[in-house]
Every structure is written in C-alpha cells, then in structure tokens.
Amino acid sequence: MRSPEASPPPRPTVRCAVLAAFLAAAGSPCLAQSQAEFASCLARLQPAAQRSGVRPDSYSRYTDGVQADFGILDKLNYQPEFRLPIWDYLAALVDDERIVDGKAGLARHADVLQRIQAAYGVDPATVVAVWGVESNYGRITGKYPLVQALGTLSCFGRRQGYFQGEFYAALRILQRGDIAPDRLNGSWAGAFGHTQFMPATYERLAVDFDGDGRRDLVDNSDDALASTANFLRKGGWQSALPWGFEVRLPAGFDPALAGRKNKRPASDWAARGIVAVDGRTLASSGLADGERTAILLPAGVRGPAFIVTPNFDVIYGYNAAESYGLAIAHLSDRLRGGPPFATPWPTDDPGLSRAERRELQTLLAARGHDIGAIDGMLGDKSRVAVRLEQSRLGQPVSGRGGQKLLQALRAEGDAQLPAGR
C-alpha cells in the first residue's frame, strides 16, 4: 500500500502539469502552479525517502532547487518497441553500422569480455549486443538528469509509485558516491549508463569489476559490461543454450500455438513439422528434444518465425518487449558472423537503416524542410516533413519514413542532376 507521503498530487494539479508541458512562457500561471506543486510533492516524499535509506541531508542536497521537467510526461505513452512496425525497429537497431561497431568492440574489449564470460557464463557477443542496442556502445546514454526526471515522474503522470522507488534508489546511488551528481544522467524514464540500468536494478546487480571500489556504469565500460552479464546470469542465463533461431513453419501451422509463454518441448514442435530455416532438424540445430521452447511470430505467419528458449526470456527481462529481445538476439548472431533473417518481413515498404534515415533527412532538408539535426532519428520535425512529402508524392500520409519515400526522393534528386553526372 502506498504511504500517505507518497500519495500523488490532486488530479487538477496533474491536469495543470500536463498543460505546463506545452507552455513555454516562464510566467505562465499554470507552469508556476505546477512547479510549486512539484516542490510540495518533493517535500511530501522526503519521509518515505528517509525510510528507504536516504539521509535528510542527502535528500536536501540533491533535490533543493530541482524543477520538474514536464516535457517528459508525454513520453510515458510512447515506446518505439511497442509502437513501430518490427521491420522499422530492427532495421535501425541491427544495421551494418551497429554490426561493424560491435565487432570492433568485441576485438577491443576481448580480454575483459573473456574474463566476464569466465565469471558469469555469458558469451561476449550477447553482452556486446545488449551494449549496442542500449546505448550504441556507450555513445548515447541519455541527457536527462535522473533526479529531475525521476522526481517529475514520481509526482505526475502514470506509475508514480514505481518511479518513486527508482527516485529513492537514484538518491541512494548519489549518497554512496558511486557516481557524481553531474554524471548521473540518462533516459527520460531513469535508465542510465552504458547498458541502461534503472537505479533499483543497479543497486541489486551492478558490480565493481575493475576493483576500484565503485560500481560505475557511466564512465567505466568494464563495470557496465560485467553488470550486464551479472543481470543475465541472475535472470537464469544458460551458457550452453542458444537463445533460439529462425525456423520454417509447415503449411497450415496454427498461429494460436505461437507465443512466448506457450512453451512446449522442442520434440513437440519437431513432430508438427517445424525445422530450422536452413532445413536442418531442431535437434541438429542445438535443441535437445525436451527443451522447453516457444514459437514467436512477430509479424504473423507470413513473416519470419523463430523458436525461442529460456535464454530469450532472460533477454526479454531486460526491457519486457519481444521486439527488443529479438533485436539483441539477432544482433548477437550477426556479431558472431551469422546471416540476416532468411524470410522477408511481410511489407512492400521495408524499414530504413540509420544511414538511410540520415540520407532521408538530408533529402528532406534539401527540399527546404526544417528537420533539425541530421542524426538518423526521425523525430517530430522529420515526421512533419515526411507527411508533407508523402502528400505531395501521392503516397499514404503516415509520417513514417520507409524505403518507398526514400527511393522516390532519391529518384527526384537523380533527375535533377546535370547530364553526364
């Protein structure tokens, strides 16, 4: 039961907070009211924080003067792993750039990864795949100060009780001195570091792998990679088991049998005519007959199909999304030298790699659209420009950048080149 100190502000204040996210003027009465309510909420949360182990002086030190960031509230209802078509999601997360960079990371960190495997039983490719998907190998770890972000989410929006627990954990991390206050930045939801741990997960599972006395997932990739391996091991990772692999379904396969939770022995699927996508039997592909497995059909029976083991469930536990789990699993295979999926996605407009997204943004900018930085992130400005170009070209207006729009804009650009070029 939530304690009185952790109770959310009254509903009218929540509505004002939502409005404040759209009010840029510092003098807005609603914005000022919401900031005052935020300060009041932080004061009400202090006793609960103290009961969780945050000293009063630490609470004051890290929260005094902090203002709410109302811009993060609308992000609560948007997560790409649940909103994007899976072919878009994977096209950007498992592209040539990430594969090349991941292989370079495997070589550069080979020694520490071998020691991590010896300590935790998780292979280097899986650990590096998590690193690549979570932060692009440490390049994109998030810009939001965690105390501000988690404080805001503790007082406004959905799941306040959950975020309050993470807020207190972030304050305890600062209190222990593992990470400096100006370095504790991350995603709007509170994940931070090379492999994007939530603060409470950090407290449970982060390790000091280099022995310097601090568990530093922000500026120490050794600690971050080892902590990821520890997360997977504690989740039940089995070193001798694959995560799964792509399979070929028999004609007439009943899709109602699919689903990550619909576990059956591998021999049962084999008896139903399921084989590896290359035609080999499941047993010869590394699955014991009695292994509890499931069939995933992320795009239905017309798209790629996969048999998954308990190791896939462990990966899934990192972010609780099957598309996310598949991204890490597939990237790990590609880092080992494996091929792309053999079965195409059931779409006539496949997704774009990050290089192709940057190319699309460049073409949009050349047509006079304000798309902001050319960064491969198709944000609000890019989506507005995409809609305008789709309308002009007679394509369905979705705001989604795919191969059809990219190819149409390329063709127009080529047509405008001088003859002979």
Read off the pLDDT of each residue in 378-405 and give the average, rounded to a whole number.
Answer: 95
Residue spans per domain, the chain: 4-78+143-192, 244-308, 354-415
CATH ID of 354-415, from 1.10.101, 1.20.120, 3.10.50, 2.60.120: 1.10.101
pLDDT at 9 over 90: no
pLDDT at 22 over 80: no
Residue bearing the bigger pLDDT, 302 or 32: 302
**How confident is residue 12, by pLDDT bands cut at 50, 70 and 90?**
very low
Look over the chain and give the mean of its residue pLDDT values, rounded to a whole number.
91
Global pTM? 0.89
Q: Write down the pLDDT at residue 74.
A: 82
Nearest to 129 by CA among 42, 232, 212, 28: 232
SS3 158: coil
**How confident is residue 18, by pLDDT bands cut at 50, 70 and 90?**
low
| Domain boundaries 4-78+143-192, CATH class | mainly alpha
- Torsion sign over Cα 193, 196, 198, 203: negative
Given a contact cutoff of 8 angstroms between Cβ atoms, the answer to whether 207 and 231 are in contact is no
pLDDT at 77 over 80: no
**How confident is residue 419, by pLDDT bands cut at 50, 70 and 90?**
very low
pLDDT in tens, 24-69: 444 455 666 688 999 999 999 999 999 999 999 999 999 999 999 9
In 3-state terms the chain splits into helix, strand, coil percentages (rounded to 5) of 55, 5, 40
Query: Can you tell me the distance from the alpha carbon of 56 to that of 180, in angstroms, rounded to the nearest whole number?
Result: 19
Read off the pLDDT of each residue in 272-287 and give the average, rounded to a whole number.
Answer: 96
Tokens of 358: 């940057």
Burial of 133 from C-beta contacts in 10 A (0-12 / 13-18 / 19+): buried
Query: Can you tell me the distance from the alpha carbon of 36 to that of 56, in angstroms, rounded to the nearest whole number?
Result: 21
Q: Write down the pLDDT at residue 79.
A: 59
pLDDT at 298 over 80: yes
Tokens of 79: 């997560």
Q: Write down the pLDDT at residue 7.
A: 34
Q: What's the DSSP call for residue 157?
A: S
Query: Can you tell me the distance from the alpha carbon of 358 to that of 372, in angstroms, rounded to the nearest whole number?
Result: 11
pLDDT in tens, 215-234: 999 999 999 999 999 999 99
**How confident is residue 158, by pLDDT bands cut at 50, 70 and 90?**
confident
Name residues whose C-beta falls within 8 Å of residue 142's C-beta, 6 or more positions apart in sequence. 185, 186, 187, 188, 191, 192, 196
pLDDT in tens, 246-275: 999 999 999 999 999 999 999 999 999 999
Q: Write down the pLDDT at residue 19.
A: 52
pLDDT in tens, 166-185: 999 999 999 999 999 999 99
Q: What single-letter amino acid sits at 248?
A: R
Lowest-confidence segment of 31-45, 198-212, 322-336 by average pLDDT: 31-45
